[in-house]
Amino acid sequence: MTGKIKGTGSYRPVQVWDNDNLSHMMDTSDEWIRGRTGIRQRHIAGQEETVAYMAARAAEKALTDAGMWPEQIDLILVSTMSAERIMPCTACEVQKLIGAVNATCFDLNGACTGFLLALNTAQAYLGQQIYHRALVIGAEALSHLTNWQDRSTCVLFGDGAGAVILENEESAVYIQATHSMGNGGESLTCASRNRPEFTETRADLSSTYMQMDGKEVFKFAVSKVPEVILEVLEKAGKTKEEIRYYMLHQANQRIVSSVAKHMKEPLEKFPMNIENLGNTSSASIPLLLDEWNKKGELKAGDWVVLSGFGGGLTYGASLLQW
């Protein structure tokens, strides 16, 4: 018994900043950002658009898509590293906002691999038949964790949320592989502000924004993502030819293209929407899934590989049948 995706939903904040907006704020250009990353614009959450709010809006759309009521959900998992509140967890806030009164709720932080890890966690509960219907959400307001003085990172990120509904089905297939490399963790960091030196003094806050060794992270992604995708295909006994889509975390168009090249697979099998959204961390895979689902690009029976990678360092891939 495994969960099958029955519905998807997403939320994009109203405010959009394109590269030209950023070039008025700092020494950068549309040409540089587009050339290095493929990003043209990103959505930036307003004050009312909290992580819980965005997550709840995405969840409501996923419920509508699945034709389910909130009361039917018995597990809510939210993957986030940018929630405004540590407690209550965002999943409990979503429960309150959508009225999913029967659900058990908790959050999980796996940085940009977080949505995949949350999906794996939900599948483990469903596989054991502890729960039968799960709502899994990736939601981020990365603009709160972005140092707007640091042009090498701030141009990359955006805000948003995506959600999927899983329901147990006898014939569903879900196979996953994940890895963590704690030794490489210093290449992508963001310190918590919840420490005395930050709250009691006017200490330098720069470490409490995302900091990154871009070249190291790039090398890590282009070597490990193809590896873990091939690992999951081998586990499943599937060939590359059988895969309809590889849906990768949207960190950089050049990373996605390089993975496709490495795997000798056509780029058309790697959907991308980073151009419009930037890197939304754990929201990126469900945002992409929802976009392709709503465009009618996913057909029943299609084999789809999801792959996430990022802070930790962490990475993984999952195979599912649509």
Contact positions vs ligand COA (CB under 6 A): 28, 32-33, 36-37, 112, 151-152, 155, 212, 214-215, 217-218, 251-252, 279, 310
CB nearer to ligand COA: give 3 or 158.
158
Tell me the two tokens of residue 171: 């014939």
CB nearer to ligand COA: give 143 or 321.
143
From the CB of 113, what's the least distance to ligand COA, in Å? Answer: 8
CB nearer to ligand COA: give 50 or 153.
153
* Residues with catalytic function: 112, 249, 279
Query: Exposure of 104 by Cβ count < 10 A (0-12 exposed, 13-18 middle, 19+ buried)?
Result: middle
Q: Is there a contact between 180 and 308 (Cβ–Cβ < 8 Å)?
A: no
What does the alpha-carbon distance between residue 167 and residue 163 come to, in Å, rounded to a whole number?
13
Long-range (24+ apart) CB contacts under 8 A made by 93-98 are 93/52, 93/55, 93/56, 94/52, 94/55, 94/56, 94/59, 94/135, 94/137, 97/52, 97/53, 97/56, 98/56, 98/59, 98/60, 98/63, 98/70
Q: State whether residue 147 is helix, strand or coil.
A: coil
From the CB of 180, what's the least distance to ligand COA, in Å? Answer: 14
CB nearer to ligand COA: give 174 or 218.
218
Q: Is there a contact between 277 and 12 (Cβ–Cβ < 8 Å)?
A: yes
From the CB of 225, what's the least distance to ligand COA, in Å? Answer: 11
What does the alpha-carbon distance between residue 285 and residue 83 come to, in Å, rounded to a whole number?
18
Cβ atoms within 10 Å, residue 85: 12
Q: What is the DSSP letter of 157?
A: B
From the CB of 84, what's the least distance to ligand COA, in Å? Answer: 21
Cβ atoms within 10 Å, residue 226: 21
What does the alpha-carbon distance between residue 54 and residue 79 come to, in Å, rounded to a whole number?
12
Nearest residue to 207 via CA among 181, 186, 221: 186
Q: What is the DSSP letter of 264?
A: T
Q: Is there a contact between 137 and 58 (Cβ–Cβ < 8 Å)?
A: yes
Give the strand pairing for 133-141 and 104-108. Answer: unpaired
The structure tokens 């592989």 sit at 177
From the CB of 194, what's the least distance to ligand COA, in Å? Answer: 23
